């Protein structure tokens, strides 16, 4: 950032300084030329032809003392081509034994300004113009010349001042950019130090107050850390739950094997089936956790309901399943997880109900609500919280593992949804209210 800013500052100052140098140098040169033109006009206005054809001045037009000092650097000359190739010259005393060159191949009706190297000791700035004086048929050329060293010295002083000023300005701007960059990025160094403290185990959050420009990034970073901690805690709890779930079946198998029980084979098959269902449950939950972070997770509710209805209808042919509600609703849930939740709930309603299952779909406040009702005996209010625990079954007369509602609750909470049990007013049995985040 500092190097790029320094390069731009240098480029802009160079361009601006060059343009300003041209403008000021031209202004100084124009002022120099204006003074010489004033002298030239005065010479022409006061000149006339004398008795012997010479050019004389009616007033002191060239009163500057430098015109009288030899080689002073300020000169005037009036000249005209004479007969037989002999030119006529009238000049200031400052020219002494020198003469200003003039070209006879052109006519300067207007003021002509140019530089000349005709003198070895320096460059001359010459202003000239042709004029025809009264009582004369000759076109006289009036010239005023001045050494450029004075002009060049003024331009040199001006240029040195510009270079020093712009160099100081550029240095100041670069230092200002460096300070701005250094102190502007200082909060990021504080964030780096806070992250180093977290890595060293000295803290678990960035708690230092930050400027408004950096605060949103710190908040997102703290949210990411909290999310990672929550996922790590979920992973630890998940591993502990799986270990606890497998510990009992393994203990039963080891005891049966140690005692050389006669029903060892049946025991192994039964407990292995239990372990497999526990593993399936935890794998389903782990898959849901892995897919939770995807912003593109979405599933259409109605196709999932129809698929589950067909599958459950084949298992429980005596059960009538009715579905009502909008057909275009979508949820922020993977289709596989939605099928698993709906499958568990509708299968439970068909298994423990009296033969009628009614599913209602609706949208409310950014959520999609699914109400699964049956005409069974229902669940007492005091057992509606306990039934979500893994392995809890109120009806042990029918096959099952007691994991269905636990899976539904875990997967729904992973996606930011909820599940609750209520009493069905229409059918008299149990009503399960499943709320899932709606997709646009």
0.75 exceeded by pTM: no
Quick: pLDDT tens for 269-322: 888 887 887 777 677 666 666 555 544 678 999 999 999 999 998 888 899 999
Q: Tell me, what's the pLDDT at 357?
A: 93
Q: Which of 142, 166, 163 is nearest to 36 (CA)?
A: 142
Burial (CB count <10 Å: 0-12, 13-18, 19+), residue 267: middle
> In this model, does residue 385 exceed pLDDT 80?
no
What pLDDT shows up at residue 396? 42
111 sits in which H/E element: none
Tokens for 311?
């599958």
Predicted pLDDT at 296: 60
Contact criterion met (CB below 8 Å) for 281 and 403: yes
From residue 112, alpha-carbon distances to 103, 126, 365 in Å are: 12, 8, 88
Whether 103 has a pLDDT exceeding 60, the answer reads: yes
**Segment 98-107 mean pLDDT:** 74
DSSP secondary structure string for all residues of 338-350: HHHHHHHHHHHHH
Selection from 99-108, 110-119, 180-189 with the highest mean pLDDT: 110-119
Q: Tell me what the pLDDT averaged over the chain comes to.
A: 84
> Which pLDDT score is estimated for 331?
93
Q: Given a cut of 60, is residue 133 above it in pLDDT?
A: yes
The tokens describing 307, both together, are: 């698929």
Query: CB-side exposure of 121: number of CA atoms within 13 Å?
Result: 6
Query: Residue 186: which pLDDT band, with cuts at 50, 70 and 90?
Result: confident
Distances (CA, A) of 324 to 47, 119, 305, 358, 360: 117, 110, 10, 8, 5
pLDDT of residue 288: 62
pLDDT at 400 over 50: no
Cβ-based burial of 415 (10 A; exposed 0-12, middle 13-18, buried ≥19): buried
CA dihedral 10, 14, 20, 24 (to 10 degrees): 120
In 3-state terms, what secondary structure has residue 100?
coil
Tens digits of residue pLDDT in 335-361: 888 998 899 899 989 988 888 999 999
Give residues with Cβ within 8 angstroms of 95, minimum separation 6.
70, 75, 77
CB 133 within 8 A of CB 55: yes
DSSP letter for 327, please. S
């Amino acid at each position: 950032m500092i190097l790029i800013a320094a390069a731009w500052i240098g480029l802009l100052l160079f361009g601006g300084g060059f343009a300003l140098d041209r403008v000021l140098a031209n202004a100084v040169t124009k002022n120099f030329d204006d003074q010489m033109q004033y002298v030239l006009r005065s010479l022409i206005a006061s000149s006339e032809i004398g008795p012997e054809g010479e050019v004389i001045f009616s007033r002191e037009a060239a009163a500057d003392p430098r015109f009288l000092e030899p080689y002073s650097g300020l000169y005037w000359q009036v000249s005209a081509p004479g007969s037989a190739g002999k030119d006529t010259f009238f000049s200031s005393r400052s020219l002494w034994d020198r003469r200003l060159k003039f070209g006879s191949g052109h006519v300067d009706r207007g003021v002509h300004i140019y530089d000349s190297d005709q003198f070895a000791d320096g460059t001359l700035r010459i202003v000239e113009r042709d004029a025809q004086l009264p009582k004369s048929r000759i076109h006289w050329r009036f010239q005023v010349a001045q050494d450029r060293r004075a002009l060049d010295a003024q331009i040199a002083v001006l240029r040195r001042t510009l270079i020093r000023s712009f160099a100081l300005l550029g240095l100041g701007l670069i230092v200002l950019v460096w300070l701005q960059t250094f102190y502007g990025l200082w909060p990021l160094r504080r964030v780096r130090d806070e992250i180093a403290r977290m890595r060293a185990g000295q803290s678990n959050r960035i708690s230092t107050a930050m400027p408004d420009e950096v605060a949103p990034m710190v908040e997102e970073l703290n949210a990411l850390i909290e999310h990672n901690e929550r996922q790590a805690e979920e992973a630890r709890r998940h591993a502990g739950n799986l270990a606890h779930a497998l510990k009992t079946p393994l203990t039963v198998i080891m005891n049966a094997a140690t005692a050389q029980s006669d029903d060892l084979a049946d025991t192994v098959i039964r407990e292995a089936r239990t372990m497999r269902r526990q593993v399936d449950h935890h794998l389903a939950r782990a898959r849901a956790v892995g897919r939770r972070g995807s912003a593109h997770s979405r599933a259409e509710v109605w196709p999932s309901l129809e698929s589950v209805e067909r599958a459950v209808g084949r298992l429980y042919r005596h059960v009538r399943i009715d579905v009502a509600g909008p057909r275009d609703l979508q949820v922020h849930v993977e289709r596989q997880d939605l099928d698993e939740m709906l499958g568990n709930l509708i299968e439970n309603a068909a298994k423990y109900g009296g033969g009628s299952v009614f599913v209602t779909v609706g949208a409310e406040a950014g959520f999609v609500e699914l109400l699964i009702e049956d005409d069974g005996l229902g669940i007492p209010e005091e057992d509606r919280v306990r039934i979500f625990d893994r392995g809890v079954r109120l009806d042990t007369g029918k096959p099952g593992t007691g994991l269905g509602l636990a899976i539904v609750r875990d997967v729904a909470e992973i996606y930011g949804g909820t599940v609750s049990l209520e009493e069905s007013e229409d059918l008299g049995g149990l009503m399960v209210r499943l709320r899932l985040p709606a997709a646009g």
